[in-house]
Amino acid sequence: MICWFENHSNNIMSGVKYVFYTSTVSSRNSGIYLEKENFRDSISLYTTRRLFALNHHWEKHDDLFLAPCKDEEK
């Protein structure tokens, strides 16, 4: 194990608080062990989550990564 990659929330704006690396398993326990085999994937996910979360120009800041909200009917 290289470290623990915590990826707790699916909410875009939660990327700043709940996506991080730590030396041991976090108390949230919603992540994966970072190994040689998944190193690039976890770095890509971490970078993407952080970049999206730091962009404050979202119309719907609660949009989800895997389950996008449907547009409201007008």
Written as tens digits, the pLDDT of the chain (74 aa) is 789 998 887 777 777 778 888 998 888 778 889 999 999 999 888 888 877 766 655 555 555 555 555 655 44
pLDDT of residue 20: 87
The full DSSP string for 2-38 is -EEEEE---BGGGHHHHEEEESS--TT--EEEE-TTT
Q: Which residue has the tokens 């989550």?
A: 49
Comparing CA positions, the residue from 5, 7, 4 lying closest to residue 65 is 7
Model-level pTM?
0.61
Give the chain's domain count.
1
Residue 67: inside a domain, yes or no?
Answer: no
Residue 24: inside a domain, yes or no?
Answer: yes
Residue 59: inside a domain, yes or no?
Answer: no
Residue 17: inside a domain, yes or no?
Answer: yes
Residue 46: inside a domain, yes or no?
Answer: yes
User: What is the sign, positive or negative, of the torsion defined by CA atoms of 35, 37, 38, 43?
Assistant: positive
pLDDT of residue 27: 83
pLDDT of residue 61: 56
Helix (H, G, I), strand (E, B) or coil at 66: coil
Q: By residue range, what is the domain housing residue 8?
A: 3-54
pLDDT of residue 37: 94
Residue 68: inside a domain, yes or no?
Answer: no
Residue 26: inside a domain, yes or no?
Answer: yes
Residue 32: inside a domain, yes or no?
Answer: yes
